[in-house]
Amino acid sequence: MNKDAECLTELDKEGLSEDFGKLIKEYRIAKGYSLAQLDKMAKVSPSYVSRIERSLRNEVSFSKVLRICFILGIPYELMISKAFGEIDQVEIEREKQSIKEILLHNDFIVQGKTVDVEVKEILISLVNNLFECTWDSKTKIHDLYQLSKKVEKIKGLL
């Protein structure tokens, strides 16, 4: 028996929610991946993913969906919630992350270039400075200067 067929459950037979396709597309676009790029990473054809995103494919291979979600960084709880709707009306909360965790643990692009750890650390420092500066009439110029130094450093690295 095919492994994918073994994973088929009653939930699979009911079909995926429309929100699941939207979720896949949202994460794929946020990561900056084309359907062809996702194909190379997840080994799932572009047409297969496109049909999921447009809610034209209701029955899917669980292993393919897991690969797609892993590549896109979609938390499994969110994947299940969006794929099959709310189960027993229990809302699954996504773990909250600090800005530092989000910046360090996710890949992203700025001006067409992948941001490395050094730039991420400066961005974290910049964000921290934004919230730590007093921003009153006595410190405003100093605060602006400190922020501008970090912005210049980031721009120099990109």
| 71 close to 41: Cβ distance less than 8 angstroms | yes
- CATH fold label, 3-84: 434 Repressor (Amino-terminal Domain) (1.10.260)
- Say if residue 153's pLDDT is above 70: yes
pLDDT category, 5, cuts 50, 70, 90? very low
Rounded to 10°, the helix 76-84/18-31 angle is 140
Give residues with Cβ within 8 angstroms of 26, minimum separation 6: none
- Model confidence pLDDT, tens digit, residues 114-130: 889 999 999 999 999 98
Q: What is the helix (H) or strand (E) element at residue 119, kind and residue range?
A: helix 117-132
- Model confidence pLDDT, tens digit, residues 20-77: 889 899 999 999 999 999 989 999 999 999 998 898 876 788 888 888 989 999 888 8
* CA–CA distance, 31 with 56 (Å, rounded to integer): 23
